[in-house]
Amino acid sequence: MRTSLNEIKTIEEHLFNRVHPADNLLFQANMILNTDLLEKVDLQKAAYQTVQQYSRKQLKAEIEAVHQKLANKPNSFMQRLISLFKK
Amino acid sequence: MQLNPVNTKQSREELFTTLYQKVFPTVARYVAKMGGSFDQAKDIFQDALLIYYEKAISNNITLQSSEKAYIAGIAKHLWLKTYRDEAGNIPFDAVSIDQPEEEQHQYASNKLMHYLETAGQKCMEILKAFYYDKLPVKQITEAFGYSGPHSATVQKYKCLEKVRDTVKKKALHYEDFLE
């Protein structure tokens, strides 16, 4: 694996607490000394957040598809439920 | 209905369909009784399903379609939290339930998300499988057609690098965040 990918792997292990405490201390010291590393860590956190945002959007679309499927069935329980709201 | 560790799209569709049939009527009746609308019932129920899915996946518990009370509880909590003022100050006892952070903070702009959904879809799907659905690497290897778990893992890091660099590049263009 190339160097930049190994670095991403190391940052991931640090962020997900998968490293030995001593290694973690060393990593934190490196972040203080190396602002470039600090920026990479922040950007990698942003990348995980972006993946989460993307995934939630996809999951919501899957749930909505289920809703539509059930709502479009004739005489379904969904249509009976809608009638609860008609005043 | 045991789904872990097979959190595939098809198994989710089955789960959500079952949960809709079992739990949504309870939630809809509750919201109707409280004077809310069908759309409100739908929105909070869908958010409750999302919260339930994330909790189940991250705690590595078995997803079950029998968790009716739990999901209905989340939905009621969300309804009170979101709409209690509109409904006329219903007393609210605070129950701590983690809300999806998305509501509080949209990390990526719509433009960036659209870019990732189109140009970077394959990568986003792989990253979703690893980090969100938390599928075992063996299953990801098969589902995405990699030669082995090592290739799948390398691809994961390559994709993460791509997303990171895209986020960085887009962050430099301030106008992307003004929508």
Provide the residue type at B80 as one letter. Answer: L
Residue A59 to residue B157, Cβ atoms within 8 A: no
Chain B residues with CB-CB distance to A43 below 8 A: 164, 167-168
Residue B128 to residue A54, Cβ atoms within 8 A: yes
Contact B109, B148 (CB under 8 A): no
- State the average pLDDT over residues B67-91: 79
Reported ipTM: 0.89
pLDDT band at B164 (very low <50, low <70, confident <90, very high): very high
Structural domains of chain B, ranges and CATH numbers in brackets: 9-87 (no CATH), 92-177 (1.10.10.10)
Instruction: Characterize A34-70 residue by residue with b for buried, 16 or more Cβ atoms within 10 angstroms of its Cβ, and e for exposed.
Output: eeebeebbebbebbbbbbbbbbbebbbebbeebbeeb
Nearest C-alpha neighbor of A69 from the set B128, B17, B104: B17
Q: Which has more confidence, A74 or A36?
A: A36
List pLDDT tens digits, range B17-68.
Answer: 999 999 999 999 999 999 999 999 999 999 999 999 998 888 766 666 668 8
Sign for the CA dihedral angle at B30, B31, B34, B37 comes to negative
Residue B106 to residue A53, Cβ atoms within 8 A: yes
Residue A44 to residue B164, Cβ atoms within 8 A: yes
Contact A11, B124 (CB under 8 A): no
Q: Which residue has the tokens 């994709």?
A: B159
Domain residue limits, chain A? 2-86
Residue A81 to residue B25, Cβ atoms within 8 A: yes
User: Cβ contacts of residue B90 below 8 Å, gap of 6+?
Assistant: B34, B80, B84
Lowest mean pLDDT among A60-64, B101-105, B119-123, B149-153: B101-105
Chain A residues with CB-CB distance to B99 below 8 A: none
Long-range Cβ contact pairs of B91-97 (< 8 A, separation 24 or more): B97/B51
pLDDT at B115: 87
pLDDT at B56: 85
- A59 to chain B, any CB pair closer than 8 A? The answer is yes
The first and second tokens of residue B39, run together, are 């759309």
pLDDT at B2: 42
Chain B residues with CB-CB distance to A68 below 8 A: none
> What is the spatial distance between Cα A9 and Cα A28, in angstroms, rounded to a whole number?
15
pLDDT band at B93 (very low <50, low <70, confident <90, very high): very low
pLDDT at A66: 96
> What is the spatial distance between Cα B56 and Cα B2, in angstroms, rounded to a whole number?
12
Question: Phi and psi dihedrals of A76, rounded to 5?
Answer: -80, 170
> What is the spatial distance between Cα B144 and Cα B147, in angstroms, rounded to a whole number?
9
pLDDT at B102: 44
**pLDDT of A21 over the 50 cut:** yes
List pLDDT tens digits, range B115-147.
Answer: 888 889 999 999 999 999 999 999 999 999 999
Size of interface A-B (CB pairs under 8 A): 117
Nearest C-alpha neighbor of B14 from the set B25, B5, B28, B2: B2
User: Cβ contacts of residue A50 below 8 Å, gap of 6+?
Assistant: B107, B108, B112, B113, B116, B163, B167
Q: Is B87 helix (H, G, I), strand (E, B) or coil?
A: coil
Length of chain B measured in residues: 179
